[in-house]
Structure 1
Amino acid sequence: MKLAGVLAGLMTTLSAGAAFADGEVNIYSYRQPELIQPLLDAFTKETGIATNVLFLDKGLVERIQAEGENSPADVILTVDIARLTEAKEGGVTQSVVDETINKDIPAKYRDADNQWFGLTTRGRVVYASKDRVAQNEITYEELADPKWKGKICIRDGQHSYNIGLFASMIAHHGADYTEKWLTGLKNNLARKPNGSDRSQAKSIAAGECDIALGNTYYVGVMMTNDKEPEQKEWVKAMKVLFPNAGDRGTHVNISGMALAKYAPNKDNAIKLMEFLSSKPAQEIYAEQVFEYPVLPGAEPSAVVKSFGTIKPDQMPLTDVAKYRKQASELVDKVGFNDGPSQ
Structure 2
Amino acid sequence: MRLGSRKGISSRNFLAALTLVLAGGGLLYLSATSLVAKPVTPLPGPVTTRVSVIPITFDPYNPKKTKFGKLTFRGGLNMFARSAHFGGYSAIALDQSGTTLLAVSDGGSWMRARLDHDGRRLNGLSDVTLGPILDRDGKPVRSVARQDAEGLALIAGETRNGTALVSFERDHRIMRYPFTPERFGPSNGEVPLPKAARSMGDNLGLEAIATIRVGRMKGTVVAFSERLKDRNGNLIGWLIGGRAPGTIVVRRLGGFDITGAAGLPDGGLLLLERRFRYSEGVKMRIRRIKAADLRRGNLITGEVLLEASDILNIDNMEGIAVHRARDGETVMTLMSDDNFSAFQRSLIMQFTLP
- TM-score normalised by the chain length of structure 1: 0.27
Richer in strand (by share):
2
Higher RCO (Cα < 8 Å, 6 or more apart): 1
- TM-score normalised by the chain length of structure 2: 0.26
Richer in helix (by share):
1
